[in-house]
Each structure stands twice: as structure tokens, then as C-alpha cells.
């Protein structure tokens, strides 16, 4: 939660420029969770309903993304617009070291908000369509190599990382695929 923002009835309220600028969505309820972003005082008269996948068990998704996307030379660095925090890259604490242990709960939260805040309107559309055409999201297009991406192609349709991410978008988590994707680069 950001300074100056609060939750009331499952909705984010606070200074609208802060809330809208961060692209936050509040997680609550069914498979796809709903939040509301808008002018807290109703001054503008505009209310925008945004949806986000569930935060429940997002740790599995974050762990799957970490070895593919969250290294220090990719989204595990502070200069990225989608920052992934965790035990293999960027730490939330300014003096944190990637070798200092497991990903913390605060790092999972920061990664969740970074991912869902990347394209909140498009994410809402994908969730409303029950995951149809997930390539509307740059997260999916870039990882699949269908759009220019410094990291190249990181997943193919139907592989472990792809199934992990796309299952999360529709309100579930493909546990086995997320676990397999999280093991990427490790020797058995």
C-alpha cells in the first residue's frame, strides 16, 4: 500500500494521481480479482474498474519468472519498468544482496504490483475475456519472442513458463509447470 492510499471495502482510495500513476489494482474475490482506481473524492466523476489476477499463490508465478526474467542483467535491475524482486536478482532492500537468501514476502508483493501495474487496462481486458488472446499483454508477447525483447524468446506457447503465466491470468496456477519453470538453470 502506498502512502496516502487506503483500502475501503476492497477498493483502493487515495490521491488519484498517485493511485492511477502507479496503476494499482486491488486483489479480492473470485478467480480474477477486482479493484477500483479513480479519484478518491469523486471530483473528476471518472471511475475506472481494473482487474488483476489473484495475489493468492503468486509466489509460484514469481518464482517461475525469476530465473528467466529476474536476473540482474534483465528485469532484476532497478532501471526496468517491470522490476522483479527476489533471491536471484534485485532485492527490495537498498543494500540487499541476491545471495542473501530466499525471496521475502515484501519482495513477492513488490513483484506482483510491478507485473499487474505494467498494463492495467490491457490486463483487465484479458481477464474479462477469461485469458483469451493473452498476447495483448507485452509481458506475453515479449517473452514469447513475438515482439522485440532484449532478453530474446524466453518461452514458447505451451511450455512450462508459458502455462504458468497464462494459467495465472485466468485465475488458477499450473503448479507443476510453475515449479518446473522455477527450476530453470539449476542442476538436479
Per-residue pLDDT of 26-71, as tens digits, reads 333 334 444 444 444 555 666 678 999 999 999 999 999 988 877 7
Sequence-ordered list of residues with C-beta below 8 angstroms from that of 129, at least 6 positions apart, any chain: none
Q: Identify the helix (H) or strand (E) that includes residue 78.
A: none
Average pLDDT score over residue span 148-152 = 82
pLDDT per residue as tens digits for the range 70-124 = 777 777 778 788 888 888 788 888 888 777 788 999 999 999 999 999 999 999 9
175-188 residues labelled b (16+ CB within 10 A) or e (exposed): eebbebbbeeeeee
pLDDT per residue as tens digits for the range 162-184 = 999 999 999 989 999 999 999 98
- The segment with the largest mean pLDDT, out of 12-26, 48-62, 146-160, is 48-62
Q: Which of 115, 85, 118, 83 is nearest to 101 (CA)?
A: 85
What's the chain's average pLDDT?
77
Q: 122: how many CB neighbours lie within 10 A of its CB?
A: 14
Higher pLDDT, 143 or 23: 143
The span from the CA of 38 to the CA of 40, in Å, is: 6
Q: Are 97 and 91 in contact (CB under 8 A)?
A: yes
Question: What pLDDT was estimated at residue 185?
Answer: 66
Q: Is the pLDDT of residue 10 over 60?
A: no
The span from the CA of 101 to the CA of 2, in Å, is: 26
Question: What pLDDT was estimated at residue 153?
Answer: 84
Amino acid at each position: 500500500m502506498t502512502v496516502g492510499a487506503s483500502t475501503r471495502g476492497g477498493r483502493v482510495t487515495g490521491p488519484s494521481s498517485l493511485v492511477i500513476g502507479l496503476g494499482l489494482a486491488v486483489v479480492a474475490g473470485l478467480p480474477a480479482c477486482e479493484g477500483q482506481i479513480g479519484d478518491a473524492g469523486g471530483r473528476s466523476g471518472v471511475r475506472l474498474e481494473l482487474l488483476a489476477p489473484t495475489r493468492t499463490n503468486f509466489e509460484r508465478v514469481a518464482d517461475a519468472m525469476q530465473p528467466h526474467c529476474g536476473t540482474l542483467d534483465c528485469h532484476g535491475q532497478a532501471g526496468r519498468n517491470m522490476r522483479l524482486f527476489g533471491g536471484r536478482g534485485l532485492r527490495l532492500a537498498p543494500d540487499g544482496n541476491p545471495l542473501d537468501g530466499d525471496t521475502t514476502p515484501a519482495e513477492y508483493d513488490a513483484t506482483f504490483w510491478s507485473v499487474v501495474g505494467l498494463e492495467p487496462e490491457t490486463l483487465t481486458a484479458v481477464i474479462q475475456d477469461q485469458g483469451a488472446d493473452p498476447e495483448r499483454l507485452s509481458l506475453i508477447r515479449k517473452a514469447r519472442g513475438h515482439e522485440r525483447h532484449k532478453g530474446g524468446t524466453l518461452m514458447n506457447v505451451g511450455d512450462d513458463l508459458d502455462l504458468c503465466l497464462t494459467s495465472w491470468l485466468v485465475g488458477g496456477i499450473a503448479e507443476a509447470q510453475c515449479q518446473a519453470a522455477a527450476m530453470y538453470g539449476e542442476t538436479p
